[in-house]
Amino acid sequence: MSEAAPIALLGMGKAQLEQWAQSHGQPAFRGRQLHDWIYAKGVSRVEQITVLSKGWREQLVTSVPPGLFDWTGRSRELHRSVAADGTTKLLLATPDNLSIETVGIPAAERLTVCVSSQVGCPMACRFCATGKGGLQRSLAVHEIVDQVLWVREVMGIRPSHVVFMGMGEPLLNLDAVLAAIACLCSELGMAQRQITLSTVGVANTLPRLAELALARLGRAQFTLAVSLHAPDQRLREELIPTAHAYPIEALLDDCRRYVAITGRRVSFEYILLGGLNDQPRHAEALARLLRGFQSHVNLIPYNPIDEEAFRRPEPAAVAAFCQVLADRHVAVSVRASRGLDADAACGQLRRRLAATLQPA
């Protein structure tokens, strides 16, 4: 972020909240109460924390720092879209009149929250609605964690997994993303293995991610998912214009360094675009490219957006692509498409409602 994030209680640990309470003339146990009401109960306003004295609550309500709706650091709901399969997309308002998308994806015995790390995105991937509007700013820690609390509240289920696959490029907001992962684990009780960080790749950043994760989290057990979307540099640049500054071989070299530092394998994501990158020859080239990696490829059938003429792949093409990879001993899976009737593709809901919805 270009400016310092406002002080929000969301994102603080128990010890930090104790110190914060004491800095406001309160005993330390008030910090522990704040922790319980913010994380376990999920309150969105300090006036809801009835265990605090009425006088202190009134004082806090009237002294909210610029850049926050409330000391808690919670956002406000602008819009909710629920698909027939239960996938729930939320559009959340920020105090500076921007909007964030987050998605709750239910499945058997699990609830995955897809969170955004930025408002917009600078990577300009042609198939992504988010990139059409460019980057407005990065999100603060509380704005990232808040998305998980919102999905938990709206869907009435404790999230089991979090994926950084929403709006934005997480590696361009690395400090806040790692702090958010730490918060999700320490304050909401998630395990790192339940968290996935997805990136299209930023030059010379993956080794730094590995080193910072070990230094700040103690380990790097979250899943790193690298978005390739093409088996060669020419096609990748056509789909991801910013890739011209980061050759695919350099990206893979950084992936190898990440594996060497963390001991964790890398997953690769590949959006299948009908007739463009979904043919058997593309699968063969992808298998050659990933030779030597202990990796997993996650194939993602494209969700169409209005601004581009890309089309969704035929089921037979998806099956054939999978078979080529499997025959070459590449671990592969296909991500089930969810919420196709609810603007499920990243950035679709935000763009569709941008002209009609504004934060209150």
Domains annotated for the chain, with CATH where assigned, are 14-61 (1.10.150.530), 76-353 (3.20.20.70)
Q: State what percent of residues in the chain have pLDDT above 90.
A: 86
What rounded mean pLDDT belongs to the chain? 93
Structure tokens at 90: 């939320």
Instruction: Say if CB 279 and CB 235 are below 8 A apart.
Output: no
Enumerate residues 6+ apart whose C-beta is below 8 A from 310.
Answer: 126, 127, 273, 274, 276, 302, 304
What's the pLDDT score for residue 356? 54
- Asked if pLDDT for residue 347 goes beyond 80, the answer is no
Instruction: Say if CB 115 and CB 332 are below 8 A apart.
Output: no
What's the pLDDT score for residue 354? 57
What's the pLDDT score for residue 4? 72
What's the pLDDT score for residue 1? 40
Q: Is residue 153 annotated as a catalytic residue, yes or no?
A: no
Catalytic residue among 18, 47, 101, 322: 101
Q: Measured between alpha carbons, how far is 250 from 118 in angstroms, rounded to an integer?
A: 25
pLDDT in tens, 50-102: 999 999 999 999 999 999 999 999 999 999 999 999 999 999 999 999 999 99
CA angle 51, 56, 62 (to 5 degrees): 125
Structure tokens at 139: 């999100």
Global pTM value: 0.93
Catalytic residue among 125, 183, 322, 346: 346
Output 349 or 180, whichever has higher pLDDT. 180
Enumerate residues 6+ apart whose C-beta is below 8 A from 296.
Answer: 265, 267, 268, 331, 332, 333
What does residue 200 show for φ and ψ, rounded to 5 degrees? -90, -10
- Max Cα distance, the chain (Å): 70
Q: Is residue 101 annotated as a catalytic residue, yes or no?
A: yes
Distance of CA 260 to the CA centre of its chain: 25
Residues 102, 106, 111, 117, Cα dihedral to 10°: -20
Q: Measured between alpha carbons, how far is 187 from 178 in angstroms, rounded to an integer?
A: 14
